[in-house]
């Protein structure tokens, strides 16, 4: 992590697998547009969105914005994009501090990688958010992506599972996928949906982080794992930020910091978010006593997505 001289609470973390109602969140929507390309605006109602996306070819984008507002977003940061303006839109989105979930309908691989890079850079600057890309050039894909983003925005807890979650406001799911196709999508980090009875359901919430280098890695496969880690790190940073002005390099002050972090970790364990954790280690750097280091070690409680029943039956 890059050293900064600005006072504040910064964090970095790594994760690996073991062997064997939060209020109305803010959404971002980056879509192809012709009415006012490159000019982002905050909208809180469908009527406000309609003024920004007024052209007939922007009808699908308008529907996606309305769906976000109906299912979980308090407001939407809406940025229509001309054909060559994706990077500029990503730069603007990266600077927005309060966005929780960003939806984008870019189709090219280069644009998708640039979108991912923006998310990574924002997270490194303490602005963690989830990015969702509509993975096909049709209205159904954008609507499905908006429904998934809306479900994330409306979550009541970071570990709220998307498995079999009802995707409100969708009238259909197309095309119908075979089981091998669904498995391939999940392994590739794509969130599929299906029509069950008379409603659309998310099959499983996964991320595109499916490999570590060239090796398969399921550590970050479930979106709930990512959201839980972000939630805990944000909670630690917020708590320490509130205490920053009172921290000194004395042993008593450092022990007080460790005690407060311990209380927070115990609280997250009681909430069911942590499976295990170790006492924090707090110290100042020998070469610069103005820098306090808090070392954490914890195991996230994973959300169960499958149950396998085995039976031995005697007749």
Residue 241 domain-assigned?
yes
Q: Which residues, given as ranges, of the chain have pLDDT below 70?
A: 1-23
- State the total domains in the chain: 2
Residue 247 domain-assigned?
yes
The pLDDT score that the predictor gives to residue 173 is: 84
The pLDDT score that the predictor gives to residue 20 is: 36
Q: Are residues 133 and 33 in the same domain?
A: yes
d(CA 70, CA 79): 18
Residue 208 domain-assigned?
no
- Name the residue range of residue 247's domain: 1-20+223-315
The pLDDT score that the predictor gives to residue 246 is: 82
Q: Are residues 107 and 65 in the same domain?
A: yes
Could you read off the pLDDT of 210-221 as tens digits, one per residue?
Answer: 777 777 778 788
Residue 250 domain-assigned?
yes
* CATH code for position 80: 3.40.50
Tokens encoding 224: 């709930």
Q: Are residues 92 and 47 in the same domain?
A: yes
Helices (H), the chain: 46-52, 59-71, 86-95, 109-124, 139-153, 179-187, 223-243, 251-270
Residue 314 domain-assigned?
yes
Q: Are residues 14 and 45 in the same domain?
A: no
The pLDDT score that the predictor gives to residue 84 is: 79
Q: Are residues 237 and 312 in the same domain?
A: yes
* Listed residues 116, 132, 154: the one ending a domain: 154
Residue 86 domain-assigned?
yes
């Amino acid at each position: 992590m890059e050293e900064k001289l600005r006072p504040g609470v910064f964090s970095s973390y790594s994760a690996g697998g073991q062997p064997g109602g939060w209020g109305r969140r803010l959404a971002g929507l980056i879509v192809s547009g012709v009415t006012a390309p490159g000019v982002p605006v905050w909208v809180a109602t469908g009527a406000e969105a309609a003024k920004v996306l007024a052209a007939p070819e922007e009808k699908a984008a308008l529907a996606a914005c309305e769906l976000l507002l109906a299912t979980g977003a308090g407001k939407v940061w809406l940025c229509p994009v001309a054909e060559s303006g994706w990077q500029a839109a990503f730069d603007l989105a990266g600077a927005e501090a309060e966005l929780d979930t960003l939806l984008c309908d870019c189709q090219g691989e280069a644009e998708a990688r640039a979108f991912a890079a923006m998310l990574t850079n924002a997270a490194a600057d303490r602005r963690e958010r989830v990015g969702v890309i509509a993975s096909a050039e049709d209205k159904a894909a954008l609507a499905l992506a908006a429904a998934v983003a809306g479900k994330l925005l409306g979550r009541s807890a970071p570990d709220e599972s998307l498995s079999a979650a009802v995707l409100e406001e969708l009238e259909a799911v197309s095309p119908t996928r075979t089981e091998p196709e669904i498995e391939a999508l999940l392994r590739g980090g794509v969130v599929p949906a299906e029509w069950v009875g008379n409603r659309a359901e998310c099959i499983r919430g996964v991320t595109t982080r499916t490999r570590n280098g060239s090796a398969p890695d399921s550590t970050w496969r479930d979106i709930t794992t990512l959201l839980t880690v972000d939630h805990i790190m944000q909670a630690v940073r917020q708590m320490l930020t509130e205490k920053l002005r009172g921290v000194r390099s004395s042993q008593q002050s450092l022990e007080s910091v460790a005690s407060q972090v311990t209380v927070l970790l115990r609280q997250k364990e009681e909430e069911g978010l942590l499976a295990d954790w170790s006492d924090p280690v707090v110290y100042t750097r020998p070469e610069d006593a103005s820098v306090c280091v808090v070392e954490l070690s914890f195991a996230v409680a994973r959300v169960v997505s499958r149950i396998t029943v085995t039976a031995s039956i005697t007749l």
